Structure 1
């Protein structure tokens, strides 16, 4: 799946893109506003989709002068499933955070980075997860946890989970060596365990140099 295009999991049509826009905020939209947000769809195509969704009652249509406005009907029976689909990205991150809380003291920091964090996923993109293992960890099941994490990411999304792991000592060595991946995590990463402040502090020796 593409976390940045959640409705594509159930429909590859323009309907999903339009619903994603309407579900993004509890406000009214004009056809031109929807078109600007989507960027690639035609106004006529958007109009047909909105008329079809209005006929189903999923979208509320109003006319003010010559301006036609549309909004998601939040009282519709389908509204909650639509909203849930629109939140797949945040649902994935929350589920990941909840799972990683079970790792207790063995995990110092974790973040999702790469295309899953920047909103540029393709259908075949990996989901990259960066982990830092605590130096004093005595978790004999660490390797099994990492394997299970990769399996869960794939089960939740259909995408391969790519786990990049460091111990704290390895992280310090990578910082000293100027490992470019760490800059990617710092600039784009979405923290799902530990604190961003801790991770940023580990990078300061490289930046001072």
Structure 2
């Protein structure tokens, strides 16, 4: 799925983004304002999407002077389904993080494991072709059979949940600490963008380091 535009998994056309914008306000908006607020799509494309939505009645078009304004028609029979799609999109990052945490907890068998999301998914720029980059940090004495099984189960579960392949980087705590000690470039990127979704913090704070 397009991780930076999750509503496209339900409404794959530009209409999905337009509906998400209009669902977020009770105020009428012009086509140019909506075009600025959607994450992708051209102004002409937004105008076409608005005309289509107005034709279905899910969006109301009002002429104000020489221009048109648009607002969501929450009285429409389909609005509850639209709102569900919008709520799904707005809450997707939280749902994804919770699902990853669940998969790790389920497969860690009580081991103290840290899992963090990094890369384009953490930056909010991932699209339909993006992998989901995950880092698993396991205890130094964790059995190899456990860590390999956990990596595989987490990767499979994340791909089933999103449709995107998961790229799992597995490190022991000692390996992670060695990378921190030499200020590895990857560590610097983790400091800038990674978010821990399960277990202890991925990296010490500047005060602790």
TM-score (normalised: structure 2): 0.79
Distance in 1 separating the partners of 2:65 and 2:4: 35
Paired position in structure 1 for 2:58? 58
Q: CA deviation at 1:61?
A: 4.1
- Of residues 174, 185, 192 in structure 2, which corresponds to 1:187? 192
Compared CA separation, residues 114 and 203, structure 1 to 2 (3 A):
farther
Write the deviation string for residues 93-115 of structure 1: whole angstroms up to 9, x where unpaired. Answer: 22222333333642342111101
Paired position in structure 1 for 2:36? 36
Compared CA separation, residues 56 and 168, structure 1 to 2 (3 A):
same
Write the deviation string for residues 74-107 of structure 1: whole angstroms up to 9, x where unpaired. Answer: 5523223322442333322222223333336423
TM-score (normalised: structure 1): 0.79
Compared CA separation, residues 72 and 191, structure 1 to 2 (3 A):
farther
Distance in 1 separating the partners of 2:141 and 2:42: 57
Residue 97 of structure 1 pairs with residue 101 of structure 2: yes
Residue 106 of structure 1 pairs with residue 106 of structure 2: no
Paired position in structure 2 for 1:163? 168
Write the deviation string for residues 181-206 of structure 1: whole angstroms up to 9, x where unpaired. Answer: 1121221112211354x62338954x
Distance in 2 separating the partners of 1:32 and 1:203: 46
Provide the alpha-carbon RMSD of the alignment.
3.0
Compared CA separation, residues 107 and 65, structure 1 to 2 (3 A):
farther
Residue 3 of structure 1 pairs with residue 3 of structure 2: yes
Distance in 2 separating the partners of 1:203 and 1:185: 17
Higher helix content, 1 or 2? 1
Paired position in structure 2 for 1:116? 121
Paired position in structure 2 for 1:45? 45
Residue 141 of structure 1 pairs with residue 140 of structure 2: no
> What stretches of structure 2 of length at least 5 have no aligned partner?
none
Write the deviation string for residues 139-177 of structure 1: whole angstroms up to 9, x where unpaired. Answer: 953321111101111111222111112111111111122
Compared CA separation, residues 203 and 79, structure 1 to 2 (3 A):
same
Does structure 1 conserve the Cα–Cα contact (< 8 Å) formed by 2:7 and 2:86? Answer: no
Q: CA deviation at 1:121?
A: 1.8
Paired position in structure 2 for 1:26? 25
Question: Alignment partner of 1:130: what SS?
Answer: strand
Distance in 2 separating the partners of 1:107 and 1:185: 20
